[in-house]
Amino acid sequence: MELYYDEMESPVGPLTIISDGEHIVRIEYGSFNQMEAKMGKWSERYFDNPIFIHKPGKVDYVKIELQDYFNGNRSVFSFDFSFHGTPFQHKVWQALYDTISYGETKTYKDIAAAIGNPKAVRAVGGAVNKNPFSIVVPCHRVIGANGKMVGYNGGLDKKEYLLAHEAR
């Protein structure tokens, strides 16, 4: 299976965007070289004999939408993406995407309630940490019950930047 990727610079550092040719399958913080081992392990779980090919044309439209977001001209993304994870992770990621609007925040407890499993707060945190669509599926909008910033796979500095950016 061929997976196509390219990178872009952003205010939160390099982003790597991966496509299966039809859908975006991952947006990750860092350059492809930094993420290659992680992407290799992840892709072997979900794709048959994955081969990464640097092909910017396959993801240019995503780069345009992300640049629009960073320029303050986009709050919703229109490209197709496909989740690859456990059924529980899919539920959590879909809840993030469906229930947290641009500029808003919710708690892990809110997300657990949204998926109909209010006691699964820790499990929700684990799924949020594995979100394959940085920025687009807004895990940066999830905060602790006390209103404080807690863990973020990309680093709290990125989370703080994204929340401040959306508050403008």
Burial environment of residue 24 by CB neighbours within 10 A (0 to 12, 13 to 18, 19 or more) = buried
User: How far is the C-alpha of 63 from the C-alpha of 99, rounded, in Å?
Assistant: 24
Please state whether beta strands 15-19 and 24-29 pair in parallel, antiparallel, or not at all (unpaired).
Answer: antiparallel
Does the structure show a pLDDT above 80 at 151? no
Residue 73 pLDDT > 90: yes
Q: Spot the catalytic one: 8, 139, 142, 143.
A: 139
Q: What's the pLDDT at 97?
A: 97
Over range 124-133, report the average pLDDT. Answer: 95
Question: Which pLDDT band, with edges at 50, 70 and 90, does 148 fall under?
Answer: confident
For 87-167, which CATH class? mainly alpha
Q: Considering the entire predicted model, what is its pTM? A: 0.94
Catalytic annotation present for 139: yes
Q: Where are the domains of the chain?
A: 2-71, 87-167
